[in-house]
Amino acid sequence: MNKITSLFTVSVLSGVITLGAYKLLFDKEVTNTQAVVWENKTPQSVVKSVNYAAESTDFSNAAEAALDFVVHVKNINVSKYQTYSLQDFMYGYQPQTKERKQVGSGSGVIISEDGYVVTNNHVIQNATELEVTLNNNKTYKAQVVGTDSKMDIALLKLDTNDTFNYAVFGNSDAIRVGEWVLAVGNPYNLNSTVTAGIVSAKARNLTNDGIQSFIQTDAAINPGNSGGALVNVRGELIGINTMITSTTGSYVGYAFAVPSNITKKIIEDLVQYGNVQHATIGIEGGELNAAAAKELNLDVTQGFYVNRVMPNSGAEKAGIKSGDVIIQLDDQKVNSFSALSSYLNSKRPDEEIDITLLRKGKEIVAKVKLSKKELGQFAYNGILLENITPQDKQKFRINDGVKIAEITNPDFIEYASILTNSIIIRIDGQLVKSAQDANKLLAAKSDRQKTRMEIITPNGKQLQLIL
């Protein structure tokens, strides 16, 4: 019995010692192994995997905040028309005048405590009366402060002394492709609708002139969403939803928003100056690709190639030369003309920016003071226009006009040899004295309106061009 007890005691002690040793050695080794694994992972990679996982991202706070500052905009257009009866024709009675009321709708975003609202220009175009309804169903009349038809932005002011919750602007230059976003608006009159998606692309250009630059998203946007908010997961405004690309008129996976940095600059200009101040570097050229790089004998395939520097421009004063390749504006990479335009659209004349460029394989940084766009050239529907020179005045025997410097619209390429270096004398019957005059006349037009130009070709022929 004593032997059995002794053996049992020895076995228990052996087991305890074995378990203790295992615990001491192997548990410590496992702990150290885990520590090594976590040390090898950078904090950024750990944070990214947590913050951007779909199943762990909570959109509710951002959505709740956005619903308070996204509004329903109702466009009421009242037109008068006359009705005739048989008696009117027989006895010469005066026809009856009646009113026809048409109602359109869209969305808007409150951007200040005192009731300034930003929306799309096409939402409020031709409105006789504007009515804005909040998420709490309160309704206010609104007046138009100003518009920018090219970027499709309009600024309204609510007719009230009430105070409002308003959107906080985010930095649209800092957003990344793949980042989660929410679209908030009133599609098909379904008030306060929230949809989620990601940023599909940045600096997306949908025109021939490269002026517009949109954020592309796959968040569902439909008719009625126009003018609504595109927000990030923190509820910050990063864009104004503007349009969709669709053969059916409804959402098919592609939607576009005006970046918040451009929107903010436009509305500040409208309040301060009454119109939008456009800035330019003072260069002509085009974006690079593999074919262009091969033709120009360049090693780089991305960037903006400088073909010409405008006289007395900020680019000329900063020493930028023909043949330079712009690859960065401040801290923003430039890989297309729309990326360059997007950044410039958020700047004003007289601001200074750092331009990083390549010259004969060497990287150079030039500090450029931006000038007014009217002083150089501007684009309309893929046609580059610039002021005429004294030599042009002498050659064509004219005092006023604007020169067609280049044709980039593919619809007009076959006429490029005729139109390039031609002079526009009148636009819609109005004499054009400068590029600034032409810019004002063309900026007031919508994309659907026709434009009639009276031009003189380089060989002296007078033509009419209808766009």
- Is the predicted pLDDT of residue 419 greater than 50, yes or no? yes
The model's pTM is: 0.66
Last residue of a domain, one of 252, 272, 292: 272
Question: Under a CB-based contact definition with an 8 Å cutoff, are residues 322 and 307 in contact?
Answer: yes
- Is the predicted pLDDT of residue 43 greater than 80, yes or no? no
- Evaluate whether residue 43 is within a structural domain: no
Number of domains in the chain: 4
Strand partners, 142: 130, 158
Q: Are 332 and 398 in the same domain?
A: no
Active-site residues, by number, are 122, 152, 226
pLDDT of residue 22: 42
Last residue of a domain, one of 223, 256, 272: 272
CATH of the domain at 431: 2.30.42.10
* Range of weakest confidence among 211-220, 297-306, 312-321: 211-220
Q: Are 356 and 411 in the same domain?
A: no
- Is the predicted pLDDT of residue 102 greater than 90, yes or no? no
Q: Are 141 and 207 in the same domain?
A: no
Q: Are 185 and 216 in the same domain?
A: yes
What pLDDT, in 10s, does the model give residues 145-156?
998 887 889 999
3-state secondary structure of 44: helix
Going by pLDDT thresholds of 50, 70 and 90, the confidence category of residue 219 is very high
Q: Are 262 and 312 in the same domain?
A: no
Residue 401 CA: distances (Å) to CA of 310, 440, 445, 466: 18, 14, 19, 17
Question: Under a CB-based contact definition with an 8 Å cutoff, are residues 218 and 232 in contact?
Answer: no
**DSSP code of 149?**
T
- Evaluate whether residue 87 is within a structural domain: yes
Q: Are 349 and 389 in the same domain?
A: no
pLDDT of residue 434: 78
**Rounded Cα distance, 253 and 345, in Å:** 27
Q: Are 392 and 355 in the same domain?
A: no
pLDDT of residue 18: 44
pLDDT of residue 81: 62
Residue with tokens 């003309």: 337
pLDDT of residue 116: 97
- Is the predicted pLDDT of residue 138 greater than 80, yes or no? yes
- Evaluate whether residue 85 is within a structural domain: yes
Average pLDDT over residues 309-314: 85
Percent of the chain with pLDDT over 90: 41
pLDDT of residue 52: 43
Q: Are 182 and 96 in the same domain?
A: no
Q: Are 263 and 177 in the same domain?
A: yes
Going by pLDDT thresholds of 50, 70 and 90, the confidence category of residue 445 is low
- Evaluate whether residue 164 is within a structural domain: no
Which residues are CB-neighbours of 177 under 8 A, at least 6 positions away? 198, 199, 200, 201, 202
**Rounded Cα distance, 320 and 159, in Å:** 49
- Looking at every residue in the chain, the average pLDDT score rounds to 80
Last residue of a domain, one of 158, 190, 216: 158
Q: Are 383 and 303 in the same domain?
A: no
- Evaluate whether residue 268 is within a structural domain: yes
- Evaluate whether residue 387 is within a structural domain: yes
What pLDDT, in 10s, does the model give residues 178-200?
999 999 999 988 888 999 999 99
pLDDT of residue 234: 93
In which domain, by residue range, is 253 found?
A: 172-272
Cα-Cα-Cα-Cα dihedral sign, residues 34, 37, 41, 47: negative
- Evaluate whether residue 57 is within a structural domain: no
Residue 144 CA: distances (Å) to CA of 75, 104, 205, 291: 12, 16, 27, 47
CATH of the domain at 192: 2.40.10.10
Average pLDDT over residues 244-270: 86
Q: Are 242 and 328 in the same domain?
A: no
- Is the predicted pLDDT of residue 294 greater than 80, yes or no? yes
List the structure tokens of 55. Answer: 């199943």
- Evaluate whether residue 137 is within a structural domain: yes
Percent of the chain with pLDDT over 70: 77
Q: Are 249 and 203 in the same domain?
A: yes
